[in-house]
Amino acid sequence: MRAGNIVCATLLGFSLCCALSAQQQCTVGNLVGTWAFSEIGWTVPLGSGSSAVASPVTVIGVLTVNYSGKITGSGTTISGTGIPGTPIPAGEVLDFDFTGSVEITPNCTGSWRYSIQLKGTPAPLPGQFIERFFYSLPKDQVVSMAIQSPLSKPLWIGQYTRMGRAPESIAWPEVAR
């Protein structure tokens, strides 16, 4: 009986050690590749105080993550309000490019930090966007939430779906309007 208990305890300990060592931890390497994303939500103009009116915003795009954690991509957005400090009106379809970086912790939470440049403009918009995210290892998907925008109070969430594991340069094709 005692020998059986020792064998069971040994097997249990071995099983726990194997299970703990088999748990995967996230690194930037898990995110390397090309991703399609969509984001939807609301924005509230900065400085609007208690009279703030939330406005809908929708974004789609593609994102590439390389081995050093650099992100690049292109997207299209439409907002129910114009962009503050610019002559861009509400409802304008805007194409943009972005560059930035990604950080991820071993527990698969992380952040995107990026700046955007609207197509046809000479320089990026001032300031930085920041989104928090969770990467699901089993599903190979990312879910994000905006926490900082230089243009508004961001209230949008996003979903990222992997298109490929190779970090390829991708950009929107030009569309005549």
Contact indicator for 153, 57 with CB cutoff of 8 Å: no
Burial call 90-107: b when 16+ CB within 10 Å, e when fewer: eeeebbbbbebebebeee
Q: What is the pLDDT of residues 120-160, one digit of tens each?
A: 889 998 899 999 999 999 999 999 999 999 888 889 999 99
Give the per-residue pLDDT at 148. Answer: 95
The conformational region for residue 132 under phi > 0 = left, psi -120 to 50 = alpha, else beta, is: beta
In words, the CATH class of domain 25-164 is: mainly beta
At which residue do the structure tokens 């099983």 appear? 15
**Which DSSP category does 30 fall into?**
H
Cα–Cα–Cα angle for 51, 52, 57, nearest 5°? 160
Q: Which residues of the chain have pLDDT under 50?
A: 7-21
- The domain ranges of the chain are 25-164
Give the per-residue pLDDT at 5. Answer: 52
Of the chain, the end-to-end C-alpha distance in Å amounts to 82
Q: What is the pLDDT of residues 111-125, one digit of tens each?
A: 999 999 999 889 998
Give the per-residue pLDDT at 2. Answer: 60
pTM of this structure: 0.80
